[in-house]
Amino acid sequence: MAGGVACGVRGSGTPDLGLLFSGRPCAAAAVFTRNEFKGAPLGVTREAVAGGGLRAVVVNSGNANAATGRRGVEDAYAMQGAAAQALGVEAGRVAVASTGVIGEHLPMDNILAGIGDAAGRLSGDGAPFAEAILTTDTRTKEAAVRVEVGGRSVTVGGTVKGSGMIHPNMGTMLAFLTTDAAVEPECLQETLSRATEHSFNRVTVDGDTSPSDMALLLANGAAGNEPLTAGSPDYPAFVGAVEAVARELSKEIARDGEGATRLVEVAVEGAEDEETAAALAKSVVGSSLVKSAVFGEDANWGRVLTAMGYAGVPFDPDGLELWFGPVKVFEGAPVPHEVAEANAALASGEVRISARLDAGDASATAWGCDLSYEYVRINGSYRT
């Protein structure tokens, strides 16, 4: 069950407090930001996940409760305690997350009132929760997949927030995935870590990694299947479902990147290994110059090669082929092409840039967005 209310952190009636609740204890898996500087809620949630058997998640937007010192940690525990009391569960079974401005103390009166309010409005509708966790996002981001596991139909659903301060190779933004499948906890963590590597960690909006990043995967077993382990015949199907949900949500984050006018998908094939392919794809999708060129619909492919060149992994430019949409622009040397056609490949809402190396069979895809005036405007006046 889920709920979301406005408690006044973001002001003017904007939803800013969300609750997730499971009637049965959930196996829980989590990944956290790799930023050295971590928001206060992350330590509280890490402790709760390690304790096992989560029952609820409480989240606020508008204030990240990060860089708030000891008082911030006390506030995070107070959120946990209040949610636990409102839901009638043990405090240690509640995960806590906060997202928003860094360096300000939470308005705890609002937060505590909001928790009580949200607990009274829980329902099977995830939309109010999906809305309550947003900050600069322009829309909610939800995805769900259904698969057969051990003869039972199992659902994996999720919602994320994230629009700025988004960069791969880290934990991730805030992501909440739930499933009614029964899954052994270790296997669940392995599933989430792997899915994160293939999805959230392949998104970038601006190269900035939030101190609040966190992804949670809760599995309450309500579907009644035999608990999944890594050896279960249906485990690959479950992994596929989690990855599909995570990938879809990742693309939604990129599409809704701060100021974005386009989703950019960069696919690298023919690499020696997946790490190399991913490093190259992420470098291209993160380049300010590539992002500006996409915004300007200028198929300046030299910038793509340049970004691959500083990805920190070796590759042979002579064996490289490069496409903007369907238009081949490079094959060891410039390929004559109609510039207008290549530019047109950047003009749609979904832009695909693809590269093929001749070093092996591995591939990877990364997602990002263009860099627009609007990104600068949003971030030049975020606090005002």
Site residues (CB under 8 A) for a copy of itself?
34-38, 64, 66-71, 101-105, 164-165, 167, 170, 206-211, 286-289, 292-293, 295-298, 300-303, 305-311, 313-315, 317, 329-330, 332-334, 371-373, 375-384
33 neighbors 175 (Cβ within 8 angstroms): no
Name the packing angle between helices 235-255 and 185-198 (round to 10°).
Answer: 40
Q: Is 159 a catalytic site residue? A: no
Min dist. Cβ of residue 32 to a copy of itself (A): 12
Q: Which two tokens stand for residue 369?
A: 């967005």
User: Among residues 332, 327, 316, which one has the least CA distance to residue 354?
Assistant: 327
Q: Which two tokens stand for residue 197?
A: 């590597």
Min dist. Cβ of residue 309 to a copy of itself (A): 3
Nearer to a copy of itself, 32 or 235 (CB): 32
Nearer to a copy of itself, 170 or 241 (CB): 170
Min dist. Cβ of residue 155 to a copy of itself (A): 34
Nearer to a copy of itself, 241 or 254 (CB): 254
Catalytic, out of 68, 99, 135, 172: 172
Nearer to a copy of itself, 84 or 304 (CB): 304
Min dist. Cβ of residue 200 to a copy of itself (A): 15
- Neighbouring CB atoms inside 10 A of 117's CB total 17
17 neighbors 52 (Cβ within 8 angstroms): no
Nearer to a copy of itself, 27 or 64 (CB): 64
Min dist. Cβ of residue 336 to a copy of itself (A): 11
Q: Which two tokens stand for residue 245?
A: 């949900």
Min dist. Cβ of residue 59 to a copy of itself (A): 19
User: Among residues 370, 341, 164, 165, which one has the least CA distance to residue 263?
Assistant: 370
Strand partners, 160: 141, 175
Distance of CA 52 to the CA centre of its chain: 23
* d(C-alpha 6, C-alpha 9), whole Å: 8
Nearer to a copy of itself, 131 or 206 (CB): 206
SS3 label, residue 96 = strand
Residue 164, C-beta contacts closer than 8 angstroms, at least 6 positions apart: 136, 205, 206, 208, 257, 258, 375, 378, 379
Strand boundaries in the chain, DSSP class E: 2-5, 17-32, 54-63, 94-101, 141-149, 152-161, 174-179, 214-219, 263-271, 321-324, 327-331, 350-356, 362-369
Nearer to a copy of itself, 167 or 255 (CB): 167
Min dist. Cβ of residue 305 to a copy of itself (A): 5
List own/partner pairs for 228-232 with CB under 8 A and 24 or more apart: 228/149, 228/150, 228/181, 228/182, 228/183, 228/184, 228/187, 229/184, 229/187, 230/187, 230/190, 232/149, 232/150
Q: Active-site residues: which are they?
A: 172
